Amino acid sequence: MERLSVLIVEDSVSQREFVANMCLDAGVGEVALAENGRVALTMIDAREQDYDILICDLEMPDLDGIELIHLLASRKRNSAIIIVSGRELSLISAVELMANTQGLWVLDGVQKPLSMERLHSLLRLYTQRRDKLDFKPRTAQSSPLAIEELRMALTQRRFVLHYQPKIDMQSGQLAGVEALVRLTCNQYQIVFPNDFIPLCEAHGLIDDLSYEVIRLAIEQQKRWQQAGLDTAISVNLSAVSFANEAFSGRVMQQVGELGDAAKQLIFEVTETAIIQDIGKALSILTRLRLSGCGLSIDDYGTGYSSIKQLSQIPFTELKIDRSLIEGVSRKAHLQVIFESTLSMCNKLGLKVVAEGIEKKSDWKYLAAQGCHIGQGYYYSPPMPEEDLLRWWQAGMPALS
């Protein structure tokens, strides 16, 4: 084990020592101890470099684990977090979701006692994921992009697409790919969507970015088809664009030029965004569906009117948010939600995509329940065009 630094935040002396000894036995290079969140926060603030991992209890005197996590988010710390608690899994999962939505990196939520096997697994997961930029939260030192830089990037066509495979969980075959937009600043630096999508939406550039992403996806399909790979590509649409009537016409022109190939294009829209103006959303979504494109409701489970939207919009696919997938193999309440959602979609004729799968146990559970499509780092991270083609030609080995 390389020299990792771990801070254990736990009010029980015996529990602190138990976990500390396990960390040392696992080869962790530096182990620090704090008896509550207040002490931990003081130690974190006084440290020049973030701890690699925080192992944090929830119930502690003075400053509990939940408040500590909230304060860490406000400080934009980069430490990965393992939540360890004796409370019920539904409560632990709620805290995980809170931390994730606040931009923190949660490795897992674990019921006490933390076992050596689980600790080893989480330490391996940390080292595997740490160098993948998709999993790194934004740092306080990140320099914000200037809007003029984004305009120039669109003009110079410096946006590129990376592709994450979507796997048919019953046959093991490639069911499609999701196109994820990136901004290339130079040969060595790639900027991820969280750092430029909100800016594009706020400054009226999101339509131009959407056109560019669709153009890149269409051209990609043609190149892959020439190489023998014929697969669906999913692209994300920002619902901010639905307010622009010209947007619909321009996108339809792009799609119309595809002819039958439009069936290989799937548009994903987050459920929380659609509800802003259902009328304008339907204006473009129904036309896309008439053209043969697939429609996917993305991040299902994070909004508040999902059932109503399913009855109003002609979706062909439903993507269950990672917050309802992570740990599903061992969390009974997530299993109930997943199984009822799958049953509903089977009756409605919708494909179900489980996104954000990171553990073999979750993959196996979902496949056993009949989930249609799986997507996540357990199988493969997003890849540039050339890497995905080579991966497909090599027989699609799991890249986890």
In angstroms, the CA 199 to CA 64 distance is: 35
Whether the per-residue pLDDT at 279 is higher than 80: the answer is no
For residue 145, the model assigns a pLDDT of 72
pLDDT digits (tens, 9 = 90+) for 170-202: 999 999 999 999 998 765 578 888 888 888 888
pLDDT in tens, 210-228: 999 999 999 999 999 999 9
Each residue of 36-83: pLDDT tens digit? 999 999 999 998 889 999 999 999 988 889 889 988 888 877 899 999
| pLDDT at position 239 over 90 | no
- Kindly tell me if the per-residue pLDDT of 127 is higher than 90: no
Q: Could you tell me the pLDDT band of residue 2, with boundaries at 50, 70 and 90? A: low
Provide the whole-model pTM: 0.71
Q: Residue 188: what pLDDT? A: 58
User: What is the predicted pLDDT for the residue at 132?
Assistant: 52
pLDDT band at 271 (very low <50, low <70, confident <90, very high): low
pLDDT of residue 400: 59
Residue 275 in this model has a pLDDT that exceeds 80: no
Report the alpha-carbon distance of residue 130 to residue 127 in Å, rounded.
5
Helices (DSSP H) in the chain: which residue ranges? 13-25, 37-46, 65-75, 89-101, 116-130, 147-155, 197-202, 206-226, 245-256, 271-274, 278-290, 306-312, 332-348, 360-369, 385-393
CB atoms within 10 A of CB 13: 10
- Spatial strand order of the sheet with 30-34 comes to 30-34, 5-9, 53-56, 80-85, 105-111
Q: Compute the mean pLDDT over every residue in the chain, rounded to the nearest whole number.
A: 87
Let me know how long the chain is.
400
pLDDT reported for residue 139: 37
Q: Percent of the chain scored above 70 by pLDDT?
A: 91
Side-chain-side CA neighbours of residue 333 (13 Å): 9
Q: How confident is the model at residue 273 (pLDDT cuts 50, 70, 90)?
A: low
How much of the chain, in percent, has pLDDT values that exceed 90?
A: 52
For residues 361 and 358, what is the distance between their CA atoms, to the nearest angstrom? Answer: 9
CA 224, distance to chain mean position in Å, is 25
Residue pLDDT, tens place only, 291-318 = 999 999 887 876 554 677 777 788 999 9
pLDDT at site 302: 67
| Predicted local confidence at residue 62, as pLDDT | 86
Residue 392: per-residue pLDDT: 93
Q: Are 71 and 40 in contact (CB under 8 A)?
A: no
- How does residue 234 score in pLDDT terms, banded at 50, 70 and 90? very high
pLDDT confidence of residue 235:
95
Question: What's the pLDDT band for 285 if we cut at 50, 70, 90?
Answer: confident
As a whole number, mean pLDDT of residues 331-350 equals 94
> Does the pLDDT of residue 137 top 50, yes or no?
no
